Chain A
């Protein structure tokens, strides 16, 4: 890729060591400034919270097997779905791709030695873990029953559960996400290698740039909103509760001003992963590179203007709802630009059907369903019928699980050899990808139907409509398959850490600066900072110049 090299400063003689074995004490991990190690710390934390959230999901599915419920009391059921929501959103989806793969690969992809603020990066992990531990304490100490949305006046006046601690935990998760966003913005602006222009940035980096903007603009608003709920709960001051002279719809406005854009915090990084996978497994420059890059920013900008679609059945004025509805429809445009451009990239591409590509294809199908069903919820008339039903649940799971989680799994399978220098079994990977795809659809497709028929979300029983049981049983079966599909990578990836064959620097034949350095990368990423001379995803260039490049390299390295 790059043939001319600069020598910025002498590098000590520990180059043979990679980031994993350069210092093995616990302290060298817990006090590290290395973005790659912090990403691994995040990977461990996030996997743990994903596990907790999945157990809660399993309990929910088990409960709904019978119209009268199976296991849980009503109160417990409320606490379980609240735990599922809070853990999955604040402690898995929001940090997942940015904090693990963004953290690890943004510096590698732009040719930098680290993020701009390594200590801030480490701090963000500690703040995240502190928030997580606080939420675990809230859960074990009796639970929270408000739902992840903390709606007032339930959360501020009536709930006798550990709402305050849960709010503080969510606040901490928000702080951590702000720190990550600030770090990414400074890094992407100022740390790019010579020749790495904005027009040559990988789309993964573009997506994270848009995500970081949302993190910095949106998260402080939900932070202050939660602080106000906490004030109201503690001092009984009337900001949101009508009993105290406040306005509950104001809370909804402020909450969704963050929480709708938060959807894009969760899914934009996934779209970034998707662009990398599609380009590299079709051996083709992404069709409409600039359109995909700009559409990420467009989604970030439009995302701030549509929050009212969560409030069609509140006291919001109908004219306001109409405007929000129109704007919500507009979000479909940049999303469709991405889907169409990815499809066009696959067309006549040199497609390699390896595990990450399986996930990429799954993403395209599932995210499209999630996006299109969103239109039913964006238009007022259908939304009034569908509000707070399982249709909504199915819709956002298609976006969050079918989109964000699938992309997360795609990312882990794509970059695993780079991160840990080991290969996993591709056939096991494909089996698990298929199980995830089939299990996921079996879980959530019936929920569209049962929601359309009127099954409300958050109910622990449905004995008034026992005919819904068939759908719920299908859904529970599907979630079991999904669970197996998710458990498999845990096993074979862990196995590969110890027994997997060693990975070369570029096992996929992919294109990008991260594949130039060794697997796993050395502590400061590059022996010499590369100068970028070719365009992004320029596979033709690579083919034409490979021999030439090898000659030049062998001359320079001596």
Chain B
């Protein structure tokens, strides 16, 4: 036992925090922490998904009618963009394990670019809804043609859910861009925290895949409602 302790001490890692004995312990603790955080996020989104499911169950017909107001082409485009960003994130983690700094940076930049594209598309989507007075609240006064025959109250409920859930998701995308940006800064500055240890990159990757995964559920639930 004593000898192993001395061994790990010999490879003292620059990113090792004082509370850990060695870098393996630190990495494992970070992963457990990250997964607990993921579970917490799943429960958070789970709440709104539950609300969605109940009202979809109750108002299927009106939900079907009003969902035509969402632009499925833009949604599909955004889905593709996010799927691609997940791929570039996987590649970034892969090159991080190989300690290939340039390729990691390139892939992270690609992921960031995808995230921005997603937000820009979302901006135009939201803009169209505001234009058609489909944003819930006192200003919810859409023309009849934009209701597609849905009950206005249910249409408002649908739009509340749409804005609420995709808004929360967009917030997660923005946070993701910030985190990836910081990570890129570390890689750019050759900070040993990230260059010596792929775990920080991997954790950012986990977060990003989670955000993508939420969208994979959101897209069919809102844009592809069957009759």
Contact = CB atoms under 8 A, between A and B. Distances in A.
Interface of A: 4, 6-9, 107, 112-118, 120, 178, 181-183, 185-187, 189-191, 194, 216-221, 223-225, 228, 231, 235-239, 244-247, 250, 254, 524, 529, 531
B142 to A, nearest CB: 14
A462 B19 CA distance: 58
B6 to A, nearest CB: 8
Interface string B19-34: 1110001001110110
Contacts of B196: none
B32 A189 contact: yes
A237 B76 CA distance: 27
A238 B137 CA distance: 9
A181 B40 CA distance: 10
Interface in B136-184: 136-138, 153-154, 156-157, 160-161, 164
B44 interface: yes
Query: Interface residues of B: mostly helix, strand, loop or mixed?
Result: helix
B137 A236 contact: yes
A219 B40 contact: yes
Contact of A216 (B2, B12, B39, B47): B39
Contacts, number: 130
Interface residues of B, number: 41
Interface of B: 1-2, 5-6, 9, 12, 17-21, 25, 28-30, 32-33, 36-37, 39-41, 43-48, 50-51, 54, 136-138, 153-154, 156-157, 160-161, 164
Given A7-B5, A116-B29, A216 B157 contact: no
A7 B136 contact: no
Nearest to B167: A231
B47 A4 contact: no
Contact of A254 (B25, B50, B137, B161): B50
Contacts of B33: 116-117, 120, 182-183, 185-186
B33 to A, nearest CB: 4
Contacts of B30: 116, 186
Contacts of A236: 136-138
A350 to B, nearest CB: 34
A181 B5 CA distance: 29
A115 B54 contact: no
A269 B54 CA distance: 35
Given A190-B29, A235-B136, A220 B160 contact: no
Residue of B40, B45, B137 ringed by the most chain A CB atoms within 10 A = B40
Given A185-B32, A236-B137, A245-B157, 10 more contacts: A8-B9, A9-B9, A117-B33, A185-B33, A216-B36, A220-B41, A221-B43, A221-B44, A235-B160, A237-B160
Given A6-B5, A116-B19, A220-B40, A237 B157 contact: yes
B201 to A, nearest CB: 18
Nearest to B49: A224
Could you tell me the dominant secondary structure of chain A's interface residues? helix
8 contacts: A116-B19, A186-B29, A190-B29, A191-B19, A223-B44, A224-B44, A237-B157, A247-B54
A359 to B, nearest CB: 32
**Which 10 A-B pairs rank lowest in CB-CB distance, beginning with the nearest?**
A237-B160, A224-B47, A114-B19, A220-B44, A186-B33, A190-B29, A235-B137, A220-B43, A237-B136, A116-B29
A185 B36 contact: yes
- Taking each of B25, B39, B137, B160, which has the highest tally of chain A beta carbons within 10 Å of its own beta carbon? B160
For A6, A115, A224, A228, which residue has the most chain B Cβ atoms within 10 angstroms?
A224
Contacts of A185: 32-33, 36
A182 B51 contact: no
A115 to B, nearest CB: 7
Contact of B25 (A191, A219, A220): A191
Contacts of A219: 40
B19 A115 contact: yes
A513 B19 CA distance: 17
Contacts of A194: 1
A244 B140 CA distance: 13
A372 B161 CA distance: 42
Nearest to A528: B5
Contacts of B28: 189-190
A8 B18 contact: no
Contact of B36 (A181, A231, A237, A254): A181
Most chain B CB within 10 A, of A6, A115, A118, is at A6
Nearest to B47: A224
A190 B32 contact: yes
A253 to B, nearest CB: 9
A235 B136 CA distance: 7
A245 B48 CA distance: 16
A220 B43 CA distance: 6
A250 B57 CA distance: 14
A360 to B, nearest CB: 31
